[in-house]
Chains A and B, each alone.
Chain A
Amino acid sequence: MYIYDNYDQTMVDERVNQYRDQTRRFLAGELPAEEFQHLRLRNGLYIQRLAPMLRVAVPYGMLSSKQLRKLAFICRHFDRGYAHFTTRQNVQYNWPKLEEVPDILEALASVQMHAIQTSGNCIRNTTSDQYAGVAVDEIEDSRPWAELIRQWSTFHPEYNWLPRKFKIAVTGAREDRAAVQVHDIGVRLIERDGEVGLQILVGGGLGRTPVLAPVIREFLPKQHLLTYLEAILRVYNRYGRRDNKYKARIKILVRAMTPAVFAAKVEEEWLALKDGPETLTAAEITRVKSFFTRPAYAPTGQGQAVLDAALQENFAFKAWVTRNIKAHQEAGYAIVNVAMKATSIAPGDVTDEQLEVLADLAEKYSFGEVRVTHEQNVTLADVRQDDLYPLWKALCEAELAAPNLGLLTDIICCPGGDYCSLANAKSIPVAEAIQRQFDDLDYLHDLGDLDINISGCMNACGHHHVGNIGILGVDKKGAEFYQVSIGGSANTNAALAQILGPSFARAEIPGVIQQLVDVYLQRREADEQFVETYNRIGIQAYKDRVYA
């Protein structure tokens, strides 16, 4: 993973000092609250319903064991013993004290971490594919490109006061695990005539106006990445709407101008920047790539045999391997997903002890690194096949072996009304009620891939528009209701879910999900997944059942 040198470290250290001074001035009454609000947001600090919430950046989801241990330390010393993995591969703390945040930032800086630009109307943490560098369907590792974007966007002086927040995602695989079509900018590494270049999408997003991003540049030679981003951001900073925060995202600008006119405007701006100083040099690309080389794989040659024997013996292990393990580029190795979705625990929540366990297991079995996924799970990317069984046993002890990756109970869920002051409704208890309703593992495995995504309000932090089933908290005359949608997808063939009809009370939701699942079970053909059946038969059959 990327390792800071003196330049990177100095920037992060100086930011801690700067923020410490801003906090001091606020507490001393020298900085008005409405001004401090913008400054603290740019360092990830929200003031929530119950307490402040601090969002820590995890660039493209990568964490080392050392960093995990520091996160655990912060849980214990500054919070209530747990943290939360977000849908943008970040980590949140729900109970920090405002006056202690500078100390938390100092602790983070000691392990090359920070909370820079994790909130506010600026360029946020760049996200990527959790299987980058190990996925079998990879064209090129996306992480060096995400790191180059991280550096370029960090404290960019021209884009710190954008009309609205701005999110960039990068993918280098054939299957899109980074949801690039629902980001402000999506970057795809693609191959054309034997050359790998960049395809640029602009103006996707969820929220009130969900849009899939159009491609505005089919193929960009890689050295132009930063000048091209600069052109997009400059057009947005100058022309994006600032009169209405609900119309301020770049997707509205792209739509108003039309993608073709927007692309032409960017092209014009880019021609003036092209080949300028931000043009990437071969030396810089090589330097950044050198941090993402393949680890020293040492397969024993016995991996498959050892694994097969263990699979024969243990049915629970087999269920976990079937769901949670993915194929690896290197023979004898596997990608392991640790699903953080045990019933009765808020999706994505993790205790200090679990963080320590993950750190230890990563060190023992996966070269000391993990990745946070946008499904709020954790990936150990480089595990030897012969180590899968002992790893699974260790995960079982830590209650981290839920074999439900990608299943109905692997729910993506925002913090909702339990924590978030913007919420219309709670989301965590809805997830739990669904998990309780569907507690038969064989049944769940038979259902197969089915994403349920829950957001507590229109802001869509739980990505409900791209869930196979989406649940959105709505306010109906002061009462909490839930709108259900169906047919969304966040992968390569991204699709926005359609609203089923009138919303439901919370207690009705598990029953509604059951009815939707029943329609699937009755109508599915051959190996169709839930969303494929929906795509074939359309929404009416589901409406008829639910509103009968």
Chain B
Amino acid sequence: MPKIIKDNAIIDSPLAVVQPAEASLACSNSLLPLAFYLAHQTSLAGRADIGVWLQADEAVEDLAPYLSDLTVIALDLPQFGDGRAYSSAALLRQRYGFTGEIRAVGDVRRDQLEQMQRCGFTAYALAPGQDEQACLQGLAGFTFNYQASVDKPQPLFRRRA
């Protein structure tokens, strides 16, 4: 079973990303593509063994009506230098109040984890070749941050002693 980092620990996760061509209602323990999920939302409602994954250019707004039904949303990073998923995660948390797991999938590397965490990601399926133990250390960011973020909703200037 693939390992992920979740809540500061390395754990096994049964959930695997399913590509659009392979998606079907028969898939279990799967992260289904957004378009498939939206098309079959009524049949999928209540299924605890599935989540949804979004490509970097897909809009989290489309999921807004179904968030209470979901426990896992995965956001894909096609390259580690592609920052769109950070805004998607922040919107899911700050604007739509999603409280389930937000998982980073794709080109997920150690030196970005701390920024992802601040934007509301809680789980990381690492890119091939990443050292999980080292990545756990990568989660530790700076002691202080200036701006408001998901993990520290008040900016420093509202907390500055």
Contact = CB atoms under 8 A, between A and B. Distances in A.
- A contact face: mostly helix, strand, loop, or mixed: helix
B84 interface: yes
- B contact face: mostly helix, strand, loop, or mixed: loop
Given A7-B160, A10-B144, A158-B119, A277 B86 contact: no
A35 B107 CA distance: 11
A155 B146 contact: yes
Contacts, number: 100
Interface string B25-69: 000000000000000000000000000000000000000000000
Interface stretch (A234-242, A347-355, A405-413): A234-242
Interface in B124-149: 142-149
A268 to B, nearest CB: 11
Contacts of A287: 157, 160
B153 interface: yes
Contacts of A18: 142
B5 to A, nearest CB: 17
Q: Which of B142, B154, B157 has the most CB of A within 10 A?
A: B157
A277 B151 CA distance: 13
Contact of A11 (B111, B142, B155): B142
Contacts of B109: 35
Nearest to B160: A7
A276 interface: yes
Q: Which of B80, B119, B142, B143 has the most CB of A within 10 A?
A: B142
A103 interface: no
A276 B148 contact: yes
A212 to B, nearest CB: 27
B147 A121 contact: no
A241 to B, nearest CB: 11
B149 A157 contact: yes
Interface size class on chain A is: 35 or more
Interface string A35-71: 1001100000000000000000000000000000000
Interface stretch (A159-167, A198-206, A427-435, A476-484): A159-167
A162 B111 contact: no
A229 to B, nearest CB: 10
Interface residues of B, number: 33
A162 B85 CA distance: 11
A110 interface: no
Given A237-B83, A237-B87, A277-B158, A11 B144 contact: yes
Nearest to B154: A277
Contacts of A284: 157-158, 160
A155 B84 contact: no
A283 B155 CA distance: 13
B122 interface: no
Contacts of A278: 147-148, 155
21 contacts: A11-B142, A11-B143, A11-B146, A152-B146, A155-B115, A155-B142, A155-B145, A156-B146, A158-B86, A158-B90, A159-B83, A159-B86, A161-B82, A162-B83, A163-B83, A277-B153, A278-B148, A281-B157, A284-B158, A284-B160, A287-B160
Given A158-B119, A278-B147, A284-B157, 18 more contacts: A10-B143, A11-B146, A22-B111, A35-B80, A38-B81, A121-B81, A157-B118, A158-B115, A159-B83, A160-B86, A161-B83, A161-B86, A237-B84, A277-B154, A277-B155, A277-B158, A281-B157, A284-B160
